[in-house]
Amino acid sequence: MGNCSFDQKTLHAQLLELLREFRRFGMTETGGVTRLAASDEEKEARDHLCVWLKNHGFTVLIDPIGNIFGVLDFGLRDNCRAFYCGSHLDSQPEGGHFDGVLGVVCACISSLFLKAKIERGELEPAYRYFVVACWTGEEGARFQPSLIGSSVFTGRLALDKAWDLQDSNQIQLKQALIESGYLGTDKPPPPEHYLELHIEQGSFLERSGNEIGLIEACWGAEKIRLSVTGKADHTGPTPMEERRDALLAASLLVVEIKRIYTASEDVLHTSIGRMTLHPNSPNTVVDNAELWIEFRSTSSAALLFAIRKLETRLLAIADQTGCTLGITNRETRNVTKFDAVALDLAAQALDETKTPYQRLETIAGHDAICLQDICPSTLLFAPSKDGITHSPFEFTSDEDVCAAFDGMTIALSAIVTRTGNAI
């Protein structure tokens, strides 16, 4: 294993330096980052991670969906339990430098922290292996859906279906993984607990002055891909009453999605984040529009209400415009509650060290919600300035990064010790 120190100042320096090193992979002229899944830019970041892991005594494994697992053996011969910690390296187009990568970097540096404590006899771990996990395609920017790598790993998504996913250029994910060198065959030890640190992507922690968030639950979501089919015609001579304009139908649908939010009696967030048009020519009536629609809520009833309202409005818009509207793909994400035992252990440890923390829910999805399907999982948040995310202006200060890391190591120590053996 490489040089490590239990000195917190040294760990902070290593943490910030590694975080800065990842900034250069996919940096854009705006100061943000475009590092899409299985792209050349993400390959550079993945290669850098693998070099760091190997230099620090990890065995690096790659599974068939491209997930990276750095496995560190704590040397316990009486069990083969594995504790996972990590996040992702892919980004949104023109995204920020903290979303995902902060969790990977903190997982790496926390391994140095734990190893030093074990070697000093200050911590007796309940796990033989510490696994740094880097999940494939968390963002859903290049390949949809989101959370691809963790979904395949936990059985939510079949491997062959994931391999067949295509980007906007009809490149399959399997081919992209082959070209990037990250289509593996390895099988890591199964996780018995997972912990992930992520930026909040909200402003509750910043406003309250708390250093770290303990996440109790993730909102549910309905993610829908919808196709509108009309008829291509000349935008000049074609009589208005004879046009079947797919863009008109799509535009009416955009308004209806907002109306569904207004009509909901429960909290509901709605969006259409992407739309593609064909043939996308100034002089041709649009004959096809594809829309990506999202509903998010703490209430399963609100999500069901939204789906039923949408189905009703599709029929009405079809009748009004003469177009055909249909759902081509639907991903349902149920409300997820994270492991309460681990949360209480973390809270107790933070209380004892007088570390300011806050219990929160997350609206955004993270890999931890998939891992909760197969093992107890813990999601932690670091503060985000003004809650800005998926943007070049996404920012968490060095001070807040280090404070969140310290809170993470306090929680981590409580969970991985023998006293946490029940989880």
DSSP 138-160: -S-SSSSSSSHHHHHHHTSS-HH
Q: Which amino acid is at 419?
A: T
Q: What's the confidence (pLDDT) of residue 5?
A: 43
Q: What's the confidence (pLDDT) of residue 126?
A: 92
Q: What is the largest CA-CA distance in the chain?
A: 83
Contacts for 74 with CB less than 8 Å, ≥ 6 apart: 114, 115, 118, 125, 127, 128, 129, 130
Q: What's the confidence (pLDDT) of residue 76?
A: 82
Question: What is the Cα Rg of the chain in Å?
Answer: 23
Name the helix (H) or strand (E) containing 59: strand 59-62
Residues in the chain, pLDDT under 50: 1-5, 419-423
Q: Which amino acid is at 347?
A: A
Q: What's the confidence (pLDDT) of residue 2?
A: 36
Q: On the CB side of 295, how many CA atoms lie within 13 Å of its CA?
A: 31
- Cis ω on the peptide bond leading into residue 239 (within 30° of 0)? no
- The residues of the chain that CATH labels 3.30.70.360 are 220-333
Fold of 8-219+335-420: Aminopeptidase (3.40.630)
Residue of 402, 423, 370 whose CA lies nearest to 145: 370
Pairing of β 82-88 and β 336-337: unpaired
Beta strands in 200-340 (DSSP E): 212-218, 220-229, 269-278, 288-297, 324-333, 336-337
The answer to whether 213 and 204 are in contact (CB under 8 A) is yes
Measured between alpha carbons, how far is residue 150 from residues 264, 355, 369 in Å?
Answer: 32, 31, 9
The answer to whether 68 and 150 are in contact (CB under 8 A) is no
Residue of 312, 318, 319 whose CA lies nearest to 289: 318
Exposed, middle or buried, 337 (CB in 10 Å: 0-12/13-18/19+)?
Answer: middle
The 3-state DSSP class for residue 210 equals: coil
Work out whether the CA dihedral 123, 126, 132, 136 comes out positive or negative. Answer: negative
Provide the 8-state DSSP code for 361: E
- The residues of the chain that CATH labels 3.40.630.10 are 8-219+335-420
Q: What's the confidence (pLDDT) of residue 24?
A: 96
Contacts for 340 with CB less than 8 Å, ≥ 6 apart: 216
Q: What's the confidence (pLDDT) of residue 77?
A: 76
**C-alpha to C-alpha distance for 389 and 199, rounded to whole angstroms:** 9
Q: Convert 29-61 to b/e letters by CB count within 10 Å (16 or more is b).
A: eeebbbbbbbbebbbbbbebbbebbeebebebb
Fold of 220-333: Alpha-Beta Plaits (3.30.70)
Q: What's the confidence (pLDDT) of residue 300?
A: 92
**C-alpha to C-alpha distance for 376 and 190, rounded to whole angstroms:** 12
Contacts for 184 with CB less than 8 Å, ≥ 6 apart: 61, 62, 63, 64, 66
